[in-house]
Amino acid sequence: MTEFNPSDHPHRRLNPLTNEYILVSPHRIKRPWQGQVEPPQVLNLPQYDPACYLCPGNSRAGGVKNPDYEQVYAFENDFAAVLPGPLPVAPPALHPLLVPEPVGGGCDVIIFDRRHDLTLARLPLEKLKEIIEEWVRVYHRRGSQDNIKYVQIFENKGSMMGCSNPHPHGQVWSLSAIPTLPATELGNLKRYSLTDVPPSDAPKAHDGKPCLLCEYAHVEVALKEEDSRVVYKNDHWVVVVPWWALWPFEVLVLPYKRHVPSIAELTDEEKSAFADVLSVTTKKYDNLFSCSFAYSMGMHQRPIPVSEIADGQDKFDEAHLHLHFSPPLLRSATVRKFVVGFDIMGEGQRDMTPEQAVARLRSCDTVHYMDKLDV
């Protein structure tokens, strides 16, 4: 009987956050590619674009003029996906399978920098700390509003991820309901916290219960480098290609020294370390294929600040702050993974193993390739 080798043989891996399996097919990475090739990315963007809706002093699509901002700038999205309350009353359902659930809230845009040609990877640490502080402010502001049950912070980078404007920016959508993915994660984090797990030195939640993500980060950090999937770590945060990664160079970014339910509960030192891992992660991404690396990034945490949760309501203490980076590029700057076929009809599937992905990301420099060209 052939001895199983995870680098050669197909196998499944369980994502404990979603309770879904990922099919890993490492032998398929050798197949020739004759599919779609993305066009080369435009790298020579101007520092200011008079036609850009997000550049300082320009008018947005809705007619509002941006101020001549110097710092991080946030405003309500002119084309919000959800609208403020009061929520309308849904009509009687025609059938139990056809029940509409009204949802309300608000959407914000956060512009990271006045320059049109920069990204997180090319911003200084002080600017990244400003962005983190703005995330904290919006989390508090939206999380304190009536009927808001969840604040979702995210960034889409690159046209292949649906980003309609290259100017560096992210978004925050705040809803009157907890969206499906975070709700699933929170449910599985809670279930893990109520189970008997083997004793370990991993950080625990504030009530002493086990934390799934604290335990996972503890395991990865403790492993020898050749067995671990850690890309980078500093004194407070770790970047890891998760055991269950779906996207080719997917990473999970999270604090590993203590249990941190939300961004509002970070210390100043942890915020500085957060800025460091954001910088290193995005630089390594860009350096992988010497391009502006596309991704979707999302932050999962306690749904709203604990100070805004009424007595007797679930405080979601089992939540642990973490960021998902889901990048589509696979073999080069022009060949991407498509989530189609078996991925959407069966279960998620990847070719290159997470261990192969982490080896490539580790080897990438932390100095941006364009900064080397500027020397």
259: which residues sit within 8 A by CB, 6+ positions away?
203, 204, 205, 206, 211, 214, 320
* CB-neighbour burial class of residue 338 (10 A; exposed 0-12, middle 13-18, buried 19+): exposed
Q: Is the peptide bond before 10 cis (omega within 30 degrees of 0)?
A: no
CA contacts within 13 A on the Cβ side of 144: 8
Give the SS3 label for residue 155. strand
Do 338 and 344 form a contact (C-beta atoms < 8 A)? Answer: no
Neighbours of 368 (CB within 10 A): 19
Of 235, 196, 234, the residue nearest 215 (C-alpha): 196
Handedness of CA 186, 190, 192, 193 (dihedral sign): positive
Positions marked catalytic: 169
